[in-house]
Structure 1
Amino acid sequence: MKIISFQRGMPFHEILTDLQKKVMTKTERLPWRCYDDWSCLCIKENIYEQHCEHFRRYEAMVEENVTVSVHAQTENEDEIPWGVRYVGAERLWRKGRGEGVKVAVIDTGISRNHFDLKGRIKGGVNFVRGKQNGHGTHVAGIIVAEMNQRGIVGVSPEAHLYDVRAFDHEGKSSLSTILQALQWSIANQMDVINMSFGMPQYSEALARAVEKANEHGIVLVASAGNSGGEVEYPARYKGVMGVSAIDQSGKLASFSARGKGANMKAPGVEILSTWPGNQFKKLNGTSMAAPHVSGLMALEIGRKRNKKK
């Protein structure tokens, strides 16, 4: 459609009569819509192109039929962080979003009132008291941030998250507390346990806890470590998915541990996720890589369950 405005003061009706004689044919019925009061008409694009020389005689202004929008604010959409896109979560969502899969996050605690998390947190336990830091909240968002037209979305946005706090505000814990956290997760029948932490030395007790979780069919995911050297424990244990960090180009991050025990790689550089105070923040680390894999495992478990229904 073309919109044509004739010069003010020109005899609009005489112009129309002249154009009708030259433009209108038997096959070109009602080729235009007229607005007499302001000397304008709208004409079909093909008719204008066929007879444009007649319109040009009148030195008229010709405009395109542009799109016009109301000044309403459109509803926000969830941002899909690059890591979630990278692991192919959007494609996998067609077969389920991890609905009902139980994921324990053994960490520094989670901001349970964050608008992108509160609907996904279904329980948990505190083995440590006092002030939290944002590490656990960040890890949680990567796994389960909700599809709620706000903030971001996680890898498995319909999974059920369990906040298992075992670390203090400085990100420190003890082996005995970690054992408690694993025992609780086993007893409460978690499907996936995310462990974005590590220590350099082998522990027989921790190895046995890992073995027991495996016997119960729990998927264990752990960060490889940020030393740039050898993979730490528990990622290094058999039966644990040890995850190294990569950047947006798919290259192993310089800080990421590597080698034996690092059997998976996932995004861990400039990862946007939830942060206390209904905020969002970008962090680097294998701690960010591991929850991408935990989310993928939740999606896989959910798909298998859906097939059995």
Structure 2
Amino acid sequence: MKIVSFHRDTPFTEILSDLKTKVLTKTERLPWRCYDDLSCLCVKEKIFEQHEELFRRYKAMVEENITVNVHAEGQDEIPWGVRYVGAQRLWRKGRGAGVKVAVIDTGISRDHFDLKDQIKGGIQLVRGKQNGHGTHVAGIIVAEMNQRGIVGVSPEAHLYDVRAFDHEGKSSLSTILQALQWSIANKMDVINMSFGMPQYSEAMARAVGRAHQQGIVLVASAGNGGGEAEYPARYDGVLGVSAIDQTGKLASFSARGKGVNMKAPGVDILSTWPGNQFKKLNGTSMAAPHVAGLKALEIGRKRKKA
């Protein structure tokens, strides 16, 4: 399409009459769109090329039919992991609205623009400087649909920041027990546990068992040592998650075997990072929140049907 603008001092009706006589044929009845009050024509490319000399005889200004964009902020990027687990298809039946998801981790950046409206509460069991692990996990689950940044698996779920780990990613068994107790008392629907330990703990087994009895969905990363899964992934009532890459292949670092119930994306995972930033990380820590987000979507769908 060409945009042809004639000089305003030239009688447009006369130009149009002349063009109709010389251009219109039985096979080409609508070669242009006419704007009388602007002295302009939008002419089909083929017609303009055939009669270019005629159009230019009127000393017209000829322009390309360029693309014009709205001044929108953009669109949320949907990371490959969110696409892989089929979240976009599931959003047609709900986006996890109001489902309470606790992230027991290193703390969440509460001022991140993709998370701040989703964070509804939590508890700080550890003080001091944070690292970005918890923020990254949180974004995979609930990063908001706001036409900025990324979008998480369940972007309308309610996020609860249960900080139990210090800036080095370390915690204690007693602090984890407190975190689980708080999550149970505050009636969480889903608990994400992207952490692990090699040895069995009777106390933690009882804590996750109680949470499971209360109907809470517990999701845990299997571990990054490449061998057998760690605890709490191996406890009964916990969904242990290993990591896969974009081809669906189990990542070389991922734990496997007993205790692994599911596999989810855990390689080159883009998510939220402190300072309103985004970062790619690898790990079963990234795989578990994909499953936590899917469970939030499932719970949301069931509630809508009830």
Fold-level match, TM-score > 0.5? yes
By how many angstroms is 1:46 displaced?
9.9
Q: Distance in 1 between matches of 2:63 and 2:270?
A: 42
Corresponding residue for 1:273?
Answer: 271
Q: Which amino acid counterpart does residue 47 of structure 2 have in structure 1?
A: Y
Corresponding residue for 2:47?
Answer: 48
Corresponding residue for 1:67?
Answer: 66
Q: Which amino acid counterpart does residue 97 of structure 2 have in structure 1?
A: E
Q: Distance in 2 between matches of 1:29 and 1:222?
A: 65
Q: Distance in 1 between matches of 2:45 and 2:168?
A: 71
- Aligned-partner SS, 1:150: coil
Q: Is the 8 A contact 2:31 2:44 kept in 1?
A: no
**Which range moved further: 60-69 or 102-111?**
60-69
From 178, 181, 184, the equivalent of 1:180 is 178
Q: Distance in 2 between matches of 1:32 and 1:288?
A: 55
- Aligned pairs for 1:84-103 within 5 A: 84-103=82-101
Q: Which amino acid counterpart does residue 218 of structure 2 have in structure 1?
A: L
The percentage of counterpart residues that share the same residue type is: 75
Corresponding residue for 1:297?
Answer: 295
- Aligned pairs for 1:108-127 within 5 A: 108-127=106-125
Q: Distance in 2 between matches of 1:264 and 1:245?
A: 9
Q: Distance in 2 between matches of 1:58 and 1:123?
A: 71
Q: Distance in 2 between matches of 1:80 and 1:142?
A: 10
Output the TM-score relative to the length of structure 1: 0.85
Q: Which amino acid counterpart does residue 267 of structure 1 have in structure 2?
A: P
Corresponding residue for 2:237?
Answer: 239
Q: Is the 8 A contact 1:24 1:31 kept in 2?
A: no
Q: Which amino acid counterpart does residue 236 of structure 1 have in structure 2?
A: R
By how many angstroms is 1:304 displaced?
0.2
After superposition, the C-alpha distances for 1:150-183 in whole angstroms (9 at most, x for unaligned) are 1111111111111111111100011111111111
Q: Which amino acid counterpart does residue 174 of structure 2 have in structure 1?
A: S
After superposition, the C-alpha distances for 1:24-77 in whole angstroms (9 at most, x for unaligned) are 569958967599x9xx9747549939x94xx3776969979623426x643221
**Greater Rg, structure 1 or structure 2?**
1
Aligned length, in residue pairs: 296
- Alpha carbons of structure 1 residues 108 and 63: separation in structure 2 relative to 1, 3 Å: same
Gaps of 5+ in 1: 7-11
Q: Is the 8 A contact 2:123 2:163 kept in 1?
A: yes
Corresponding residue for 2:153?
Answer: 155
Gaps of 5+ in 2: 7-11
Q: Which amino acid counterpart does residue 190 of structure 2 have in structure 1?
A: V
Corresponding residue for 1:132?
Answer: 130
Alpha-carbon RMSD? 3.2
- Aligned pairs for 1:3-42 within 5 A: 20-24=20-24, 28=29, 33=34, 42=41
- Alpha carbons of structure 1 residues 152 and 59: separation in structure 2 relative to 1, 3 Å: closer
- Aligned-partner SS, 1:305: helix
- Aligned pairs for 1:251-290 within 5 A: 251-290=249-288
From 89, 101, 104, the equivalent of 2:102 is 104
Is 1:220 aligned to residue 218 of structure 2? yes
- Alpha carbons of structure 1 residues 155 and 18: separation in structure 2 relative to 1, 3 Å: closer
After superposition, the C-alpha distances for 1:84-116 in whole angstroms (9 at most, x for unaligned) are 111111111111111111111111111111111
Q: Distance in 2 between matches of 1:32 and 1:90?
A: 40
Q: Which amino acid counterpart does residue 68 of structure 2 have in structure 1?
A: S
Q: Distance in 2 between matches of 1:134 and 1:29?
A: 61
